[in-house]
Amino acid sequence: MFNSSRINEFSNIPTPFYYYDMEILQNTLEIVKRESSKYGYHIHYAVKANANPKIMTKIQSYGFGADCVSGNEIKRSLESGYPPNKIVYAGVGKSDQEIQTALDSDIFCFNCESIPEMELINEMAEKANKIAKIAIRINPNVNANTHHYITTGVEENKFGISRWEFDSVLEGLASYKNIELIGLHFHIGSQITDLSVFKGLCLRINEIKQWFSDRQIFVDHINVGGGYGVDYKHPDQNPIPDFVTFFGIFNEFLNLEANQELHFELGRSMVAQCGSLISKVLYVKNGVKTKFAILDAGMTELLRPALYRAYHKIENLSSNGETENYDVVGPICESSDCFGKLVSLPATKRNDLIAIRTAGAYGEAMASRYNLRDIAPSIFSNELN
């Protein structure tokens, strides 16, 4: 729950806007730093979750690297102070121009997702007279038990390289003179809250590593991607995911060789809980069976409910009235522009302030200008007086 002083501050700011609680962000980053340092793990922040420059700069100040999926994310990371040697670059469809940006910037590692991509990187690195360092993104065929739109680690999937392709990858690598294999990369999906899934990933990686070492292939690092989930239902009780257990699982179950580094690409778990979308009620409209609370924010500001039917906690910050059920909807001309059906809220009226919680990850980052709407601004707790 936001405290009442916050509401007074919010009431003078035009809505909708993203609100970032920098104290939550800071507390989260401190714990990630503390727990990952225990084991010497390397963290790359998954920029796709939130590329806001102030958020990115804050994360960088803890010494974390960046995980990018586009040339523009690489540029944004460099501008935000991330050193090139801490930038990894993944993506199934890296364009020639983006590969060039990565080569020019001397990034730490390309996470390669297909044989044709490796061929192209090799060719472009040769022209640039460079050796590109790569990890192969392996599809470990581990089910993440999460929403099927954000599952990526099962075999029939556009991401990564499957086991049956390993032999041809090795053949290719032997002939590519301008790429050097330095890592194995995995990422099985997002919003994973069942921690046993990560144990399963570790055990599968152990097997895959064995396959490679049986063939005398040893890599400097393993990258296990991101995917750790957050508590969308209870943002106040659980503002920070349990990183003690999370990193502990990798320490317990993953067999690393001496000097082999372990890398992570954490997105949502670092930034989701620090952000809320703040909106105002434009109208309360009576339907046949339901009441609609129509907000001035919609799927253009937070796409997740419309795209994945994702749950976000909705709070009315202005009312203490008797609770009633509302369908909380946005103003966009799409029926899917709905943040929640039959949401229990205190009696709600025009101009009430509404907070849609846990919107720091994949909120602002997935905003669009559909219906020619303006992009909502961002407000930071440490800049309010």
Active site residues: 333
Distance between CA atoms of 234 and 225, rounded to whole angstroms?
25
Omega within 30 of 0 (cis) for the link into 346: no
Question: Contact, 96 vs 169, CB < 8 A?
Answer: no
Question: Contact, 111 vs 89, CB < 8 A?
Answer: yes
> What residues have CB less than 8 Å from 86, skipping those under 6 apart?
42, 44, 64, 65, 66, 108
Give, rounded to a whole angstrom, the gap between the first and last alpha carbons of the chain.
Answer: 19
Min CB(111)–ligand LLP separation in Å: 7
Min CB(268)–ligand LLP separation in Å: 4
Distance between CA atoms of 190 and 145, rounded to whole angstroms?
9
Residue type at 371 in one-letter notation: N
| Residue 42, both tokens | 């390397």
> What residues have CB less than 8 Å from 110, skipping those under 6 apart?
88, 89, 90, 94, 99, 102, 121, 132, 133, 134, 135, 179
Extended strands (E) in the chain: 17-20, 42-46, 65-68, 87-89, 109-112, 132-137, 179-185, 221-223, 261-266, 275-286, 291-295, 314-316, 323-329, 338-346, 353-356, 378-380
Instruction: Tell me, rounded to whole angstroms, the distance of Cα 111 from its chain centroid.
Output: 16
Cα Rg of the chain, angstroms: 22
Min CB(266)–ligand LLP separation in Å: 5
Contacts with ligand LLP by CB under 6 A lie at 46, 49, 67, 90, 150, 187, 190-191, 225-228, 265-269, 304, 361-362
Question: Contact, 172 vs 151, CB < 8 A?
Answer: no
CB closer to ligand LLP out of 225 and 239: 225
Dihedral sign of CA atoms 269, 196, 69, 106 in order: positive
